Amino acid sequence: MSGGSRKNGKPLYQHNFMKREYCLANREEILRKKKEYKISHKEQYIQLAIKNKERIARLAHNRYMENREKELAYRKNYFQKKKLELLNGDPAILLASREIYKARERIRRKNLRSEYINAYGSKCSCCGETELRFLTLEHIKKDGGLHRKIVGGNYPIYVDLKRRGWPQGDYTLLCWNCNCAERYGEKCPHKLKKEKECAFQL
């Protein structure tokens, strides 16, 4: 065989084989380091995702459509398997486990909601509403949809913000009325009213 491509003094085919052997032998360590790197560089990943959000969404959609049947079959088999494990021949076990899980999840979500409301001022930043049931999280840069795609839903957004220490500047609280009023790029009536009052005073 002639010289061909070489890397680190070895033929390329031999280098690739050794690299594969190393990866297989150290798989857990490599995955752990990758996970640590992603966690430590999470802000960079988010900024990169924001910059390439259209391309990421297109690739994700194409990948899902190409493997749709396989993905749906995997999900169905996975949940059927888990269901059988929980049943153990007794439907009461499955029912009890569901109720326990739902109760724990309600408490977890309620506590997390209280945490993010306290972290972002406990009132609507537009009109000052303090009724907790009316308050919602608002992305000041209007990138909430992208944030949901990155972390996987509404609840994971709150988990993500908690892990990052409730970052300030890009997030605030709005009551449901103010949130809906600004949803399509319009100004909230409260802000328009304040602007008119300021203009009248001048």
| Count of structural domains within the chain | 1
Has residue 118 got a pLDDT over 90?
yes
> Is the pLDDT higher at 1 or at 162?
162
In percent, how much of the chain has pLDDT > 70?
83
State the average pLDDT over residues 6-32.
70
Q: How confident is the model at residue 112 (pLDDT cuts 50, 70, 90)?
A: very high
State the average pLDDT over residues 95-117.
86
> Is residue 32 in some structural domain?
no
> Is residue 66 in some structural domain?
no
Is the pTM higher than 0.75? Answer: no
State how far the Cα of 106 lies from the Cα of 101, in Å rounded to an integer.
Answer: 9
Q: Render 159-183 in DSSP notation, one character per residue.
A: HHHHHTT---SSEEEEEHHHHHHTT
> Is residue 9 in some structural domain?
no
Has residue 102 got a pLDDT over 80?
yes
What range defines the domain where residue 107 resides?
Answer: 86-202
> Is residue 36 in some structural domain?
no
Q: How confident is the model at residue 202 (pLDDT cuts 50, 70, 90)?
A: low
Q: How confident is the model at residue 1 (pLDDT cuts 50, 70, 90)?
A: very low
> Is residue 138 in some structural domain?
yes
Which helix (H) or strand (E) segment holds residue 194: the answer is: helix 189-201
Q: How confident is the model at residue 10 (pLDDT cuts 50, 70, 90)?
A: low
Has residue 55 got a pLDDT over 90?
no
> Is residue 114 in some structural domain?
yes
Give the pair of three-digit tokens for residue 161.
């913000």
- Residues paired with residue 138 on neighbouring β-strands, in sequence order: 172
> Is residue 201 in some structural domain?
yes
> Is residue 26 in some structural domain?
no
